[in-house]
Structure 1
Amino acid sequence: MPTTSTADPQVVEAALRRLAPNWTTDIVRSIAKYGPTLQVREVAGYVPGLSESYASKRLAGMRQDGLVDRDDAFDRFAPYHLTQQARTLGPVYRALSQWSSQHIAPTMLERPGRIEDALQRLQPIGTTGVVQLLSENGGMTYNQIAVESGVYRQLLAVRIARLQADGLVVSNGSRNHGRYTLTEAGQALGPVYAAVQQWHDRHTAKSPAPAQAAKVRSLTAPAEGAQSVRTAAALRRSPVPPSLFSHAPQPQRHVPYAVTAASHPARGR
């Protein structure tokens, strides 16, 4: 039976930032497919365009983030393997890929590319909070978002501009006079946030709840004709797929490729 959950913006964004660095998705996929263990040179060989030196740096970063580990930390030739956290990323990757396929990425991108593109759009600080505010209220002015989100105004201006460029938010006027609303892609982020929150909760020790828990917003579609009325609905958790990269995406309308290219430039080594 499916269960419900709320998404904590800070938790979601912290988790997304762990997964977002370039090549992370490709490395997880390579070790899952060709492992269970791979040396640095083997990882570089399985990921097109990834140099051995950068593979070493990225693996070191992923080890700090708890995604990979090695049996002998003092042997620089020791192979890497996926941790339990990385081995349970299937629901997160599936949700990201499906969301991207249906609402964002061009069809020529392979699945790891779609996942990384989605991660780049969703991981900036403040993105989740703004999306959830607009989801609850149906539409808000810039000043209302600034007050409710608590995001520093200059950072908020940059964040909203990025959200618009990434196809998540639209405005019907200027910053001072218009109202911001979510696009179809922004409204469809519920399963993504739920999967990320569930993944985090699965690997985080539960601590006693405080006397007065902080308010956590849930991402829901706004009720028709109630743009200024907040709703409260829980997010459904994503089911665990049989493998990390099992999926059956069904592409629908996409944001124009120019938007995707502008927000996700080609990766360097």
Structure 2
Amino acid sequence: MTFWPTDADPGHLEQTLARLSPRWTTWTLLTLQRHDHLRISELGDALPWISGTSLSQQMPRLQHHGLVDRAGRGQYQLTDAARQLGPVYEALTSWEHTHFPTHQPTAEAERIETAIARLRPRDTTTVLHFLAQHPRASFTELQQRIGRPGSAYARLQRMQTDALLTRTGHGRYELTETGAALGPVYEALNTWSPGLATAPAPMHIAAPVVQETVSARATAALRRTTTAVQGLFSHAPAPESAVPAAWTAASRPLHTQ
């Protein structure tokens, strides 16, 4: 299986995905990369579909995960680890474009977050990693990898729904072409993640009190924005004009993670 890092620790890969998976993480990191230093209010202007409450909760989380630093005068900037995310994002973009094509114009940051959302659920990486080394496995073998008998079937069903694995006529499971093509993604994650310290203890942040509402205009703005451009993390930050005020209607995530 090309580029699949069979010597990698699937548990560590799942921790790495957990750092990158909270909603709006990719959008925030790519925006900081383009602008270099931003205050929360300036991030809100650049990403008007994210509520101020969500941003205020997100920045401490990104600091906690070693992805942003707080510079002087209340500004935030990327850490060295976050600046090295280019190969990871490029591998995720390539995989999502190839195996989940869409005719609807969608920003690259949104495609990356969608790809991460497919891989983030608990035990997904553990199961895929096992199948990469054991091309056909029984339910019992995979259940042992998951370690929670009551949830094994539901987790495998979800991976089938996401086209990552399939069940053969003999009651055994194997990777689909889409699942097998994740080798470069996991290789990029495995290469990037050693630069990070061991995952910190969970951080508990209260949920927003106000329920956000979605608008068609905000959704269209999110999908078509050029915040995430080609050549992710491959060029020096450049100033970017503010997003039109018409896009500033409050919105909620297009999918939950």
TM-score in terms of structure 2 length? 0.72
Distance 2:119 2:101 in 1: 13
> Contact (CA 8 Å) 1:169, 1:186: kept in 2 or not?
yes
Equivalent position amino acid for 1:8 in 2: D
Per the TM alignment, residue 204 of structure 1 is displaced from its structure 2 partner at its CA by: 4.6
- Determine which structure has the larger helix proportion and give its number: 2
Q: How many residues are treated as equivalent by the alignment? A: 204
Match of 1:10 in 2: 11
Per the TM alignment, residue 105 of structure 1 is displaced from its structure 2 partner at its CA by: 4.7
Divergent runs of 4+, >4 A: none
Match of 2:44 in 1: 44
Match of 1:230 in 2: none
Per the TM alignment, residue 150 of structure 1 is displaced from its structure 2 partner at its CA by: 4.8
> Contact (CA 8 Å) 2:4, 2:182: kept in 1 or not?
no
2:98 is the counterpart of 1:102: yes
Per the TM alignment, residue 20 of structure 1 is displaced from its structure 2 partner at its CA by: 0.6
2:120 is the counterpart of 1:123: yes
Match of 2:247 in 1: none
Per the TM alignment, residue 110 of structure 1 is displaced from its structure 2 partner at its CA by: 1.8
2:191 is the counterpart of 1:202: no
Pick from 109, 131, 136: which aligns with 1:134?
A: 131
> Contact (CA 8 Å) 2:4, 2:184: kept in 1 or not?
no
> Contact (CA 8 Å) 1:29, 1:245: kept in 2 or not?
no
Matches within 5 A, 1:237-252: 243-244=232-233
> Contact (CA 8 Å) 2:31, 2:43: kept in 1 or not?
yes
Cα pair distance change 1:267/1:159, threshold 3 Å: closer
2:254 is the counterpart of 1:266: yes
Percentage identity across paired residues of the two chains: 34
Match of 1:86 in 2: 82
Deviations 1:233-255 (A, max 9, x none): xxxxxxxx975168xxxxxxxxx
Cα pair distance change 1:116/1:179, threshold 3 Å: same
2:13 is the counterpart of 1:20: no
TM-score in terms of structure 1 length? 0.69
Distance 1:8 1:27 in 2: 28
> Contact (CA 8 Å) 1:146, 1:153: kept in 2 or not?
yes
Deviations 1:183-227 (A, max 9, x none): 11100011111111111113459xxxxxxxxxxxxxxxxxxxxxx
Cα pair distance change 1:28/1:191, threshold 3 Å: same
Cα pair distance change 1:115/1:53, threshold 3 Å: same
Match of 2:66 in 1: 66
Cα pair distance change 1:4/1:119, threshold 3 Å: closer
Equivalent position amino acid for 1:22 in 2: R
RMSD: 2.4
Match of 1:29 in 2: 30
> Contact (CA 8 Å) 1:104, 1:185: kept in 2 or not?
no
Equivalent position amino acid for 1:58 in 2: Q
Distance 1:245 1:142 in 2: 43
Cα pair distance change 1:18/1:105, threshold 3 Å: farther
